[in-house]
Amino acid sequence: MSQLPEVAANPYGAELAAAKKAVALAARLCQRVQRGILQSDVQSKADRTPVTVADYGSQVLISLVLKKELPSQSFSMVAEEDSKDLRKDDAQEILEHITSLVNETIVNDGSYNMSLSKEDVLAAIDGGNSEGGPSGRHWILDPIDGTKGFIRGDQYAIALGLLDEGRVVLGVLGCPNLPLKSTNMHNGSSSGDQVGSFFFATIGCGARVEALEGSEPQKISMCSIKNPADASFFESFEASHSKRDLTSSIAEKLGVQAPAVRMDSQAKYGALARGDGAIYLRIPHKGYIETVWDNAAGSIVVTEAGGMVKDASGNDLDFSKGRYLDRDRGIIATNKYLMPMVLKAVQEAIKEEQ
């Protein structure tokens, strides 16, 4: 791991190095599984087993690497998956499969000399059963964010954040299918056609991107557009995840000309943070409760790139309330110039809908 001056002087430098190592290793497992899904025939593509294996495998590797790399720290992790289903009698074949996939990934990497049993795998998954909360430190993990994109062969992210005394202080987003080169010239990147973006941020130290395979990190910043007519906005790829009648009415109120850029997962937060677009509207259907792991890593990447992330009422997101986000309807991320106008449009659109 290169010790950049800003990383060496970073109060969360050790945690950042461990988190990057953990996410990079999990990404290798996910990439292997995704290649397998895409090569398989139509019938087995409809089977959810491969993605399940990757979700669990990613969570196991991340919990393992964090504990290995930070042996003196107490460990608490709020993660999406738990071992309940894997402990059932009919899940033993899947558990076997996860165990060998995890062990093969560890051997291929070569950093650790260890082999996990099925019990070790179950225990590592259950390492993610913390309730989080306002005191102490808690890792926040979505081992595969954007499952539907993962199955389709599109965007997904491995998203790891760190909560310290109720604040998100670190975020790492591994986006194996996101081109490294910005699709917008705002940040002037010229990394060719390389695919695989690795975003990371720690509080007060800015946000950076590097190639998932490793490259010199580059500082990223939000686009500085002030006129919403020039802005483009991101939303979920999946229609069932986003209230599109509301997002299109918000876009219309703002005079946004460009069509919505639809993408799965927290890759949207990463793309926004490096200026690929100007606004991210996350407006789920009524009744959907947001989890902390769907937003923690992505939101600090955006705020450290100079952006703002708010709920529909204009409040900051509160990650200290446990596994769920305590927020009013919808999440909005954009730059400081556009935020007041976007919030106004969001609130008007919500009011008109009622």
Ligand X SMILES: Nc1ncnc2c1ncn2[C@@H]1O[C@H](COP(=O)(O)O)[C@@H](O)[C@H]1OP(=O)(O)O
Contacted entry of Mg ion, ligand X, none for residue 288, CB cut-off 5 to 8 Å set by kind? ligand X
Q: With 0-12 CB in 10 A as exposed, 13-18 as middle and 19+ as buried, what is 192?
A: exposed
Q: What tokens appear for 167 in the block?
A: 């604040």
Which of 167, 121, 159 minimizes the C-alpha distance to 140?
159
Point out which residues pair with 262 in neighbouring strands. 235
Inter-CA distances, 66 with 20, 43, 161, Å: 10, 37, 12
Residues 223-242, mask of contacts with ligand X (x by CB under 6 A) = -------------x-x-xx-
Give 149 or 217: the residue with its C-beta nearer to ligand X: 149
| Secondary structure letter of residue 289 according to DSSP | P
Residues 272-331 that bind ligand X (CB under 6 A): 284, 288, 294
Would you say 181 or 243 has its CB closer to Mg ion?
Answer: 243
DSSP annotation of 258 reads S
Stretch that binds ligand X, among 34-42, 67-75, 141-149, 339-347 (CB under 6 A): 141-149
Q: Is there binding between residue 133 and ligand X (CB under 6 A)?
A: no
> Would you count residue 264 as binding ligand X (CB under 6 A)?
yes
* Residues designated catalytic: 55, 147
The CB-nearest residue to Mg ion is 145
Tell how strand 195-202 and strand 308-311 pair up.
unpaired
Q: Per-residue x/- marks for Mg ion, 73-92, CB under 5 A?
A: -------x------------
Contact between 264 and Mg ion per CB under 5 A: no
What lies within 8 Å, CB to CB, of 80 at 6+ separation is 55, 59, 128, 141, 142, 143, 291, 293
- Residues of this chain that bind ligand X (CB under 6 A): 142, 145-147, 236, 238, 240-241, 264-265, 284, 288, 294
Binding site feature residues for Mg(2+): 80, 142, 144-145, 294
